[in-house]
């Protein structure tokens, strides 16, 4: 039995104008306030790496601080970070 080939979306790469970015590489921000990025940090993998896992419903950040077994240690680790 022959497989049906999907026609799908075809792109004519000769007609596509891909612009080169203005900057390539690593950019270093020497005087950047890191408190601006803290709201975007996913702390759950951080606590998992340190094997600090709360029980439902206090499994994830920031609820992990309320966990009766690991909450205190999670807060200490967070404050040190």
pLDDT, tens digit (0-9, with 9 covering 90-100), for 31-60: 999 899 988 999 999 999 999 989 988 889
Provide the pLDDT for residue 64.
94
Domain 41-80 fold: 1.10.288
The string of pLDDT tens digits covering residues 19-34 is 999 999 999 999 999 8
Provide the pLDDT for residue 81.
85
Q: Cα separations (Å) of 31 from 2, 18, 28, 39?
A: 62, 33, 9, 18
Provide the pLDDT for residue 76.
95
Provide the pLDDT for residue 8.
76
């Amino acid at each position: 039995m022959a497989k049906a080939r999907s026609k799908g979306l075809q792109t004519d790469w000769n007609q596509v104008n891909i612009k080169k970015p203005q900057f390539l590489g690593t950019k270093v921000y020497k005087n950047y306030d890191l408190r601006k990025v803290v709201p975007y940090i996913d702390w759950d993998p951080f606590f998992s790496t340190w094997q600090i896992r709360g029980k439902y419903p206090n499994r994830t950040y920031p609820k992990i601080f309320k966990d009766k077994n690991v909450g205190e240690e999670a807060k200490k680790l967070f404050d040190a970070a």
